[in-house]
Structure 1
Amino acid sequence: MTVLPKLPRALKIAIPFALAAAAAPMLAQMPETPGKADKSRVVAGTYAADAAHSLVGWKVNHLGFNDYFGLFGDVSGTLDIDPANPSAAKVSVKIPVSKIITANAGLTAHLLKPAADGKPADFFGAAPADATFVSTSVVPAADGMSATVNGDLTLNGVTKPVAIAATFSGAGASMMTKAPTLGFHGMATIKRSDFNVKYGVPFVSDDVKLDITIAFEKK
């Protein structure tokens, strides 16, 4: 068996520093993401939602055992914002309910199952109308990075007020178009029975938690 020589203590201490020094030039060359959570980067103007990268996740509880998740994609819309006056910001988005997805094909089909025998559909029915959210007020928080966005959510033919807890997550120039781009994350909870989606309550929870991630690109 080969016995390795014991390294002097000074060398043991020096080796990590030498490795760190060798890695420093490589780390300095690592590319940075174009978006940063830096509000000084926000450019005033009118923005359009990046539908390919804007999503609304939803979560319900199933039978009291566990939570189940689904997703709406292709979210479109506009944002008008001036960093000097954030409370005047306005947002309007459209959510294509017909493109709802889950991890189970049968469940997805049930969510879009047509009504039968003159009865209402269990969930959204075939070819449901797009949902919309139109802000009515924006209340910035003291941290300068978050706000409550109040607005009207229209879903399944019903309009109700909804408050979204929104957080600014990034600003910068798009890698593809070089246009100023903004990103936000939002959370909200709605009762689906308020929108006449009552099937399975309370076995499938009435409360639906929404997890929103959306990017806007300046027009």
Structure 2
Amino acid sequence: MKTLFIPTVALTLALAVPALAQTPPTHDPAQIQAGTYAVDPYHTQVGWQVSHMGFSNYRGGFSDVSGSLTLDPKNPAQAKLSIKIPVASVSTTSDKLTGELKGDQWLDGAKFPEMTFVSTKVEPQGKDKAKVLGNLTLHGVTKPVTLDVTLVGAGANPMSKKYTVGFDATGTIKRSEFGVKTFVPLVGDDLHLTIAGAFERQD
């Protein structure tokens, strides 16, 4: 039985490799398939960072992101982006702090359950970068925000077979301008956002 097991495993792995073979993702925006895309929530991450009394840069994140993206590589300035982030998904390495952030002294997830971003303008910045201007709604307040976006890659996902495009985005907001003022300035007012976004083309 043992002598048969090893060749069987080797054969299974050999057959699996071609099935997972992947054409390398393109980094050329002109090669991206036009269409409407939906957020892949399992591979999209929203991170945040804030200064903690000047001693450390404290980080956390949000999950369960949803939304849509409309792309046309022939007209990148007409791209449209809409994102929804449930406030209750906020996370840190401390259960106590995570609970506090959801409460009414901070994000007040019960009263304001969703954070949203809706683009209003896209300004291409060279081949694979763009500034995405839009309205961010947080804590019941809506203000203009600009995200610096970079194309990561696009192509067919070798496992799901879905055509996928990914971007990295960064931006900074003043949390006090959105009514989240607790412990400012001991805890920094500047909230730095990082987004690793994956989007799947809808057929």
Give the TM-score normalised by the residue count of structure 1.
0.79
Asked if residue 167 in structure 1 is aligned to residue 150 in structure 2, the reply is: yes
Distance in structure 2 (CA, Å) of the matches to 1:167 and 1:36: 13
Distance in structure 2 (CA, Å) of the matches to 1:202 and 1:170: 39
Q: 2:122 aligns with which of 129, 138, 153?
A: 138
Q: 1:101 to 1:129 in 2, by over 3 A?
A: same
SS at 1:172's partner residue? strand
1:42 partner amino acid: I
Asked if residue 111 in structure 1 is aligned to residue 95 in structure 2, the reply is: no
Higher Cα radius of gyration: 1
Distance in structure 1 (CA, Å) of the matches to 2:21 and 2:45: 26
Structure with a larger share of its residues in strand: 2
| Cα shift at 1:66 | 1.1
Q: 1:38 to 1:192 in 2, by over 3 A?
A: same
1:15 matched to which residue of 2?
A: none
Distance in structure 2 (CA, Å) of the matches to 1:56 and 1:157: 19
| Cα shift at 1:112 | 1.5
Distance in structure 2 (CA, Å) of the matches to 1:218 and 1:155: 28
Structure 1's unaligned 5+ residue stretches are 1-28, 114-120
Alignment RMSD (CA, Å): 1.7
SS at 2:192's partner residue? strand
**Structure 1 moving runs of 4+ over 4 Å:** 29-34
Q: Contact 2:108 / 2:139 at 8 angstroms: preserved in 1?
A: no
Give the TM-score normalised by the residue count of structure 2.
0.85
Structure 2's unaligned 5+ residue stretches are 1-17
SS at 2:60's partner residue? strand
2:45 matched to which residue of 1?
A: 55
Q: 2:172 aligns with which of 161, 166, 189?
A: 189
